[in-house]
Homo-oligomer: A and B are copies of this chain.
Amino acid sequence: MLSEFNLIKQFFKRDRPGRADLGIGDDCALLTPSPGMQLAISSDMLVEDRHFFAGADPVMLGHKSLAVNLSDLAAMGARPLGFTLALALPAADPHWLAGFSRGLFALADEHGCELVGGDTTKGPLNICITVFGELAPGHALRRDAARVGDDIWISGTLGDARLALAGYLAETALPDEDHAQAAWRMHMPAPRVALGLALAAQPVAHAALDISDGLVGDLGHILAASQVGATLEVDALPAGPVLARQSLELQRRFTLAGGDDYELCFTAPAANREAVLAAGRQSGTAVTRVGRIEAEPGLRFVSADGAPLDLALSGWDHFS
């Protein structure tokens, strides 16, 4: 059995200069934020059988564990600096650890986000990452910043991750290739860090969040925090390429109330439409305008022809 010390040394300590003043191996990591910058901090905990299946591929799990945290930085418009990893493992399995750390570091390196410290212990599999980023004061894309008249935008596409889950649960029959493609989307989300940075740079956008529990529930957080309402053009929602081959009813359901999308939902003044499209091009991320922020409280749905739709949907609650 690997000792805790050797486990960290073998799989998580890297012999390369990092941004941190002091990394893994002391009581604390030391990090100096750029002068004048604000620190953005987020923490996510992933639990077996809740956020991922038992026996999940460790490489993908390493990727996703960090991706969901980077997605929170993206939603704030922050530049990733570093993260801590706390890991409870039933056993110190070298195969699992090698895969997990490979997936984790591949994504971390892509975003220049350094593992600076953490903790390992024996226990039911649990992965807790806390991520740190920085941004210029006043540039954060906050949930309470939506204004009446703002457009509502979505990055990338929605619903393929939820469709993959439907496949796993045998709710929906899917050809193998379709399921594999949708499952990739579920297991390997791409955090929209570059888009978040571009949107926060001017800033171009007002409010933003990342869609993790379904668009309707998550957009509801923006509406509540900003004390506004909205209308969504349901058929303008960008369905994932696999979902787009399913029925209109399923497309509406999984784009509106899916989960695990890790796309950004953001609002921006209509005057910034060109700037939003430019931010999308600059970051290599599709952006789609899907609705409008309104003074009237509540969330309304309309179809492609503008007719009101009566849909009963809600977000995902981890304790429901």
Number of interface residues of A (CB under 8 A): 71
A89-133: CB near B (< 8 Å → 1, else 0) gives 000100000000000000000000000111111111010101011
Which residues of B are found within 8 Å of A21, using beta-carbon distances? Answer: 38, 137
Q: Contacts A30-B140, A39-B31 known; A45 to B126 CB distance under 8 Å?
A: yes
12 A-B contact pairs sorted by A residue (CB < 8 Å): A27-B75, A27-B209, A29-B42, A30-B38, A30-B39, A43-B119, A45-B88, A47-B123, A120-B318, A121-B318, A126-B126, A130-B130
Closest B residue to A210 using CB positions: B27
Selected contact of A72 from candidates B28, B116, B208, CB within 8 Å: B28
Q: Contacts A51-B121, A84-B130, A92-B319 known; A40 to B32 CB distance under 8 Å?
A: no
Binds B, one of A3-11, A56-64, A174-182: A3-11
Indicate if the CB atoms of B33 and A39 lie closer than 8 Å: yes
How far does the alpha carbon of A26 sit from the alpha carbon of B29 in the complex, in Å? 25
Asked whether A232 is an interface residue with its Cβ less than 8 Å from the other chain, the reply is no
Q: Which of A117-169 contact B (CB under 8 A)?
A: 117-124, 126, 128, 130, 132-133, 137, 140, 142-144
Q: Contacts A2-B319, A47-B122, A122-B319 known; A76 to B27 CB distance under 8 Å?
A: yes
A49, A116, A124, A208: which has the most chain B beta carbons within 10 Å? A124
Q: How far is the CB of A121 from chain B (nearest CB, A)?
A: 5
Selected contact of A87 from candidates B45, B118, B133, B144, CB within 8 Å: B45
Indicate if the CB atoms of B88 and A47 lie closer than 8 Å: yes
Closest B residue to A84 using CB positions: B43
Q: Contacts A124-B124, A318-B120, A319-B1 known; A31 to B38 CB distance under 8 Å?
A: yes
How far does the alpha carbon of A147 sit from the alpha carbon of B12 in the complex, in Å? 28
How far does the alpha carbon of A121 sit from the alpha carbon of B39 in the complex, in Å? 25
Which residues of B are found within 8 Å of A47, using beta-carbon distances? Answer: 88, 121-124, 126
Indicate if the CB atoms of B128 and A86 lie closer than 8 Å: yes
How far does the alpha carbon of A44 sit from the alpha carbon of B118 in the complex, in Å? 7
Indicate if the CB atoms of A4 and B130 lie closer than 8 Å: no
Indicate if the CB atoms of A31 and B41 lie closer than 8 Å: yes
Q: Contacts A28-B40, A119-B45, A137-B32 known; A317 to B5 CB distance under 8 Å?
A: yes
Indicate if the CB atoms of B22 and A142 lie closer than 8 Å: yes
Asked whether A16 is an interface residue with its Cβ less than 8 Å from the other chain, the reply is no
Q: How far is the CB of A212 from chain B (nearest CB, A)?
A: 9
Which residues of B are found within 8 Å of A30, using beta-carbon distances? Answer: 38-41, 76, 140
How far does the alpha carbon of A122 sit from the alpha carbon of B150 in the complex, in Å? 36
Q: How far is the CB of A89 from chain B (nearest CB, A)?
A: 8
Indicate if the CB atoms of A126 and B88 lie closer than 8 Å: yes
